[in-house]
Structure 1
Amino acid sequence: MTSLPGGDSAQQTDQQTVVCARCGTTAQGSPLTWTCSVENGVRRYFCDACARDNIRAIEGRLDSDWW
């Protein structure tokens, strides 16, 4: 097992269920097409559809509460 930043192991990360913070869609592991954002010290994941719909706000570094 390889240790990743934050103390997670590679094996545990692959088995984790990720939930979109906007629409609630779930996925196994870390989907390559999803976006990860750290807001107020909390890591939030957004599915590809939500990220695509709000790309300008994401690129403008607005917190998801604004979009």
Structure 2
Amino acid sequence: MDQQTPQPDGVENRVCSGCGAVAEGAPPTWICSVENGARRYFCDSCARENLRAIESRLDSAWW
């Protein structure tokens, strides 16, 4: 359980699935969610706005 999830090679930019913000690399304040087998990244602003839904493990389509 303590294993790191491997990152796809060559991916430099992350795009927020909520607002579309772009960041280089993997910012430490962004979160990664796996929904239906696909990775989704959310910026700190979107994550902060939807914290309760994220902690409840609701899919982003719900919030």
Q: TM-score range by the shorter chain?
A: 0.7 to 0.9
RCO higher in structure (CA 8 A, sep ≥6): 2
Q: How many residues align?
A: 59
Shift in Å, 1:39 = 0.1
The residue number in structure 1 matching 2:6 is 5
Superposition misfits of 4+ residues, deviation over 4 angstroms: none
Identity %: 61
The residue number in structure 2 matching 1:29 is 25
- Which residues of structure 1 form unaligned runs of 5+? none
CA RMSD of aligned residues (A): 1.6
The residue number in structure 2 matching 1:41 is 37
What CA distance in whole angstroms lies between the structure 2 residues aligned with 1:31 and 1:60?
23
What CA distance in whole angstroms lies between the structure 2 residues aligned with 1:39 and 1:28?
22
Q: Does 1:18 align with 2:14?
A: yes
The TM-score, its normalising length taken from structure 2, stands at 0.85
What CA distance in whole angstroms lies between the structure 1 residues aligned with 2:36 and 2:19?
20
